[in-house]
Amino acid sequence: MRLRLRYEKLGKVRFLSHRDVARVLERAVRRAGLPVAYSEGFSPHARLHFGLALSVGHESLAEYLDVDLVPSAPRPAVHEIPDLLSGCLPEGLTATAAVDLVPGTASLQESVTSSTWEFRVAGVPLAPLAAAADELLAADELPVDLTRKGKQVREDLRPLLLDLSTEATSDGVLLLVELGTKPRSVRPAEFLAVLGARCPSPGPEAAACAAARVLRTHQWITHDGVRREPIELAAPSPHAVERAS
Amino acid sequence: MTVHEGPSGAATIWDRLEPLLPRVQRPARYIGGEDGSGTPDWTQRVPGGPVAWLLSYPDTYEIGLPNQGLQILRELLNERPDAVAERAYAPWVDLEAELRAAGLPLFSVESHRPAAAFDLLAFNLSAELTYTNLLNMIDLAGVPVRSAERSAAHPLVVVGGHCTYNPEPVADFVDLVVLGDGEEVVGEITEVVRAWKAGGRDRREDVLRALCTVPGVYVPSAYEVTYEAERLVAVTPRWPEAPELVEKRTIADLAEWPYPREQLVPLTEVVHDRLNVEVFRGCTRGCRFCQAGMITRPVRERPADQVRTMVQEGLRRTGYDEVALTSLSTADFSGIAEVVGGLVDGNGQGDACGQVSVSLPSLRVDAFGVGIAAELQKGRRTGLTFAPEAGTWRMRQVINKLIREEDLYGAVEAAYSQGWRRVKLYFLTGLPTETDEDTLGIAELARNCVELGRTHQRSPSVTVSVGGFVPKPFTPFQWFGQNTVVELQRKIHLLREDVKRHRGVQMKWHDPRATLAEGLLSRGDRRLGPVVEEVWRRGGTFQEWSECFRLDLWEEAMAAHGLSVDWYVHRHRAEDEVLPWAHLSAGLHQDFLWQDWQDALAEVGLPDCRWTPCYDCGACTGYGIEHIVASATPPAGGSQGTGQVLPGAVPVELGRRTETVAS
């Protein structure tokens, strides 16, 4: 019996690490009275399955968590769970949706293929960033040098840059970016560094990019050319419509 | 940029702090938001405004947040209609640099108000090596570090906690010191400060004089210190309000103080990250090295049913899956069997706390203690810790920790046979009268424990943890000259060489240089004030952290002020010497302590007075209070560790005999 939850992480709690959020959620699930299942063995732990990590300092409208429940135990109705859980969470962490998963549903780690991000870059004009963005989209490859297990490796970020647009805001620039997660997640900071490097130098843009306010708005599962969210609320499945009618 | 004006007119600095946080390590420790916290109501209608306390811990959030004393006081103050309390911790060096560069002050973690917006900056002093952080936090608050330079507009700086039984090294920097339990006295201080504020917050001396009359409050500036050559000869009141002897405060009955009611649950990881329920305060085992055991007497147990309620409600409210039953020696709690039985049976009572582990932070060294641990730790059994403290029976008689070798071996055997794989043993070295035979006895005990383990486990391991002994005020060892760094290093080397030759024994030790600095402050007088200040000014903060500790700063500051480390640390004191804390009292009679010191030198042990007639240490009789125990029978095994065998009932009267604390 697996439950999937969506939650937001906004405001001061954006400074919590992924590990911190995991611990907060584990306590909240217990306090909310969900009959969470425990692993067997010498040191049993609650069976919570987290999705993609969100770096310290970033906000999100779309974080996900799967929770295994004891199959036979009494439990609240699924539509009651978001409010129940939010009542046990600190300000800024809010559960916004819950669904029961069909047995055999792939895990979040396996199935999520991309995220959409809002990057708010303050105090800079649109033009240089828009030009840099065009340059990124026009490039055949975007090599980045990384140190992995002590070795220098070169990777191409271009296949993971799925979409990118820019618009001016009252105090800077808003970037809307979709970044892939397979074979690995591109961290927003990595992308912003690549973007900053294409901006005029010297200039305020690179530093402003590094200090951008980051918000994840969506996670996506793209499968056989169809893109959907890990919890779909807007379009209920035909199955559910059938039953409701 | 917007700056929100708080209801009291004090601006929160959050908007200016927030941009700094992405640049520092672990920013979660600066955001507050813990379950159970929340910003108190600053709009209370009190003439002059509510009395605002900033309860502070002079170390990082991770170390300071779990401090139960500050959590208790936070709740008590916020329950009052005339007070508000928020919390602050020492920012790590990276944020400190950012704050100073941005011109921002120390702040509270609840509403992120500047520290100077509070009426009292209150610090818990639990470790001497945090003193430089105390100065740093006062300075970061924008308050002059020396109390003499503060005006009526500045907050009052208050300190409490175990170190304040000798606050003289920080006397120049604090306005008032609280001795003993804080539950009652914070209210009395609030009332004095409220009246001062309502009266126009005039001269600082007026409020300090008034505070001198509150029992348990010591105002250092109200006392004159006289020296003759290098000797301290007298500490005398300068004002009529100041008592000649300041007595500690003691709450008579823990049952009346079921606090914290809402233990804070941090959003980021801290030490002791679990529910903590205090089962008793005080200890009468009489271990002579242990300051906590001496200054917190008498024993005041919480009723067993209240412990159970606090555990069950606490788990439900917090969502923790671990609870610690805290005290100085929890297996001695007379209600332990009842509580443990209730907790174990109570699991799965329809609440959501089915998978709860219970820990006892201090385990008694015998099979009974291990039996309790076995009952509580059904799941993972990795390591158990015992504290025999010394390697030979002779040495343990000197320190009055009367654990027989059979007790230790019984405990260790029980641990290995019941599935634990690692045993950790705590020892002190540098104890009075210690010989190399005593020191090497530590290695022998460890070796024998490994051998016992081999009959049950393939590769049993024993970790020996050795700390250098620091004599503390208000203990029988307060007259003892601490071992030098060279001597402690020699003893550690001796042990290491011996331990190396045996498989299965690991050894860890505390840096003897840090032990020296701790010893300097532990029994220092006011002449160390400029030394503490100089170490702080030269960047010596976070001295509890080995990566930050700088003995050279301490030694250079001592030399610069013409003071001898040797005289302060390594010198034995004489009976007639005026000790720097002679004008303060933890309730213990001076002649009791001196007699106990003589008994120590004569290798004579002293039984636990919970189970034997009173020998008048002063802690009960002086204040008209009593030991309060939860159960009429001592825990199984009697008062193990005091050399007493006590079958049957406890020969003490139960419950309260007298009404209140004499005050």
Task: Please give the pLDDT value at position B659.
Answer: 31
Query: Cβ separation of A16 and B319 shorter than 8 Å?
Result: no
What is the SS3 assignment for B91-120? CCHHHHHHHHHHCCCCECCCCCCEHHHCCE
Task: Please give the pLDDT value at position B511.
Answer: 97
CATH number of this structure's domain B14-247: 3.40.50.280
Task: Please give the pLDDT value at position B374.
Answer: 77
Helix (H, G, I), strand (E, B) or coil at B642: strand
- Please give the DSSP secondary-structure letter assigned to residue B7: T
B373 — pLDDT class (breaks 50, 70, 90)? confident
- Among A3-12, A26-35, B69-78, name the one with the lowest average pLDDT: A26-35
- How do the residues of chain B divide into helix, strand and coil, expressed in percent and rounded to 5? 40, 15, 45
Residues 8-67 of A with CB under 8 A from B: 12-13, 15-17, 19-20, 23-24, 26-35, 38, 42-44, 46, 56-57
Query: Cβ separation of A90 and B34 shorter than 8 Å?
Result: yes
| Chain center to CA of B509 | 21
Residue among B22, B33, B381 minimizing CB distance to A90: B33
Query: Cβ separation of A28 and B320 shorter than 8 Å?
Result: no
Q: Which residues of chain B neighbour A17 with C-beta distances below 8 Å? A: 26, 28, 268
Residue among A26, A43, A211 minimizing CB distance to B380: A43
Helix (H, G, I), strand (E, B) or coil at B89: strand
Residue among B31, B319, B380 minimizing CB distance to A27: B319
Full DSSP string of A163-202: EEEEEEETTEEEEEEEEE-SSSPPPHHHHHHHHHHTS-SS
Predicted ipTM?
0.89
State the virtual CA torsion across B508, B510, B512, B517 in degrees, nearest 10. 170
Residue among B35, B318, B353 minimizing CB distance to A90: B35
Beta bridge partners, A66, equal A4, A49
**Residue spans of beta strands (DSSP E) within B63-210:** 83-89, 120-124, 156-160, 176-178
CA dist., res. B449 & res. B439, Å (int):
16
B2 — pLDDT class (breaks 50, 70, 90)? very low
% of chain A beyond a pLDDT of 90: 82
| Closest residue in chain B to residue A31, using alpha carbons only | B319
Query: Cβ separation of B22 and A57 shorter than 8 Å?
Result: yes
The mean per-residue pLDDT over the stretch B620-647 comes to 63
Query: Cβ separation of B269 and A19 shorter than 8 Å?
Result: yes
Query: Cβ separation of A30 and B352 shorter than 8 Å?
Result: yes
Contacts of residue B330, defined as CB under 8 A and 6 or more positions apart, other chains included, come to: B279, B336, B360, B361, B362
Query: For A201-216, what is each residue's pLDDT tens digit?
Result: 888 999 999 999 999 9
Full DSSP string of B423-486: EEEEEEES-TT--HHHHHHHHHHHHHHHHHHHTT-SS-EEEEEEEE----TTSGGGGSPPPPHH
The answer to whether the beta carbons of residues A203 and A125 sit under 8 Å apart is: no
Mean pLDDT over each residue of chain B, to the nearest integer: 89
Query: Is B305 in CB contact (< 8 Å) with chain A?
Result: no
Which of A10, A12, A39 is the best residue to mutate to test the B interface, defined by the most B CB atoms within 10 Å of its own CB? A12
B321-325, B563-567, B629-633: which is most confident: B563-567
CA dist., res. B596 & res. B606, Å (int):
8
Task: Please give the pLDDT value at position B372.
Answer: 77
Query: For B503-522, what is each residue's pLDDT tens digit?
Result: 899 999 999 999 999 999 99
Q: Which residues of chain B neighbour A13 with C-beta distances below 8 Å? A: 31, 33, 267
Task: Please give the pLDDT value at position A171.
Answer: 92
pLDDT at B6 over 60: no
Measured in angstroms, the CA of B356 and the nearest CA of chain A are apart by 10
What are the φ and ψ backbone dihedral angles of B276, each rounded to 5 degrees?
-120, 125
Helix (H, G, I), strand (E, B) or coil at A93: strand
The mean per-residue pLDDT over the stretch B402-416 comes to 89
pLDDT at B332 over 90: no
What are the φ and ψ backbone dihedral angles of B302, each rounded to 5 degrees?
-85, 140
Q: How many CB atoms lie within 10 A of CB B541?
A: 24
H helix count then E strand count, chain B = 20, 19
The mean per-residue pLDDT over the stretch A135-142 comes to 95
pLDDT at B346 over 80: no
**Residue spans of beta strands (DSSP E) within chain A:** 2-9, 48-50, 59-68, 93-100, 114-122, 143-148, 151-156, 161-169, 172-180, 213-223, 226-228
The answer to whether the beta carbons of residues A117 and A159 sit under 8 Å apart is: no
Contacts of residue A111, defined as CB under 8 A and 6 or more positions apart, other chains included, come to: A105, A221, A223, A230
The answer to whether the beta carbons of residues B437 and B445 sit under 8 Å apart is: no
Full DSSP string of B27-47: GGGGS---BT-----TT---T
Contacts of residue B598, defined as CB under 8 A and 6 or more positions apart, other chains included, come to: none
Identity of residue A93 = L
Query: For A84-138, what is each residue's pLDDT tens digit?
Result: 999 999 999 999 999 999 999 999 999 999 999 999 999 999 999 999 999 999 9
Query: For B232-283, what is each residue's pLDDT tens digit?
Result: 999 999 999 999 999 999 999 999 999 999 999 999 999 999 999 999 999 8
B344 — pLDDT class (breaks 50, 70, 90)? low
Query: Is B320 in CB contact (< 8 Å) with chain A?
Result: yes
pLDDT at B343 over 60: yes
| Closest residue in chain A to residue B110, using alpha carbons only | A12
The answer to whether the beta carbons of residues A197 and A210 sit under 8 Å apart is: no
CA dist., res. B249 & res. B242, Å (int):
16
Residue among A26, A33, A56 minimizing CB distance to B27: A56
Q: Which residues of chain A neighbour B355 with C-beta distances below 8 Å? A: 38, 44, 46
| Chain center to CA of B138 | 21
B643 — pLDDT class (breaks 50, 70, 90)? very low
Query: For B473-508, what is each residue's pLDDT tens digit?
Result: 999 999 999 999 999 999 999 999 999 988 899 999
Task: Please give the pLDDT value at position B18.
Answer: 96
Q: Where are the domains of chain B?
A: 14-247
Query: Is B379 in CB contact (< 8 Å) with chain A?
Result: yes
Higher per-residue confidence, B255 vs A200: B255
CA dist., res. B167 & res. B172, Å (int):
10
Contacts of residue B185, defined as CB under 8 A and 6 or more positions apart, other chains included, come to: B178, B214, B215, B216, B217, B249
Query: For B209-237, what is each residue's pLDDT tens digit?
Result: 999 999 999 999 999 999 999 999 999 99
Q: Which two tokens stand for residue B183?
A: 């539950």
The mean per-residue pLDDT over the stretch B32-60 comes to 91
Task: Please give the pLDDT value at position A241.
Answer: 45
Residue among A16, A42, A43 minimizing CB distance to B267: A16
What are the φ and ψ backbone dihedral angles of B103, each rounded to 5 degrees?
70, 30
The mean per-residue pLDDT over the stretch A30-52 comes to 88
Query: For B438-465, what is each residue's pLDDT tens digit?
Result: 999 999 999 999 999 999 888 899 999 9
Mean pLDDT over each residue of chain A, to the nearest integer: 91
A179 — pLDDT class (breaks 50, 70, 90)? very high
B369 — pLDDT class (breaks 50, 70, 90)? confident
Contacts of residue A134, defined as CB under 8 A and 6 or more positions apart, other chains included, come to: none
Range A120-129 burial, b when 16+ CB lie within 10 A, else e: bbeebebebb
Q: Which residues of chain B neighbour A38 with C-beta distances below 8 Å? A: 354-355
pLDDT at B607 over 90: no
pLDDT at B149 over 80: yes
B379 — pLDDT class (breaks 50, 70, 90)? low
The answer to whether the beta carbons of residues A92 and A11 sit under 8 Å apart is: yes
B350 — pLDDT class (breaks 50, 70, 90)? very low
Indicate the burial class of B592 (C-beta count within 10 angstroms; 0-12, 13-18, 19 or more): middle
Peptide bond into B47 cis (omega under 30): no
Q: Is the dihedral of CA B564, B568, B571, B576 positive or negative?
A: positive
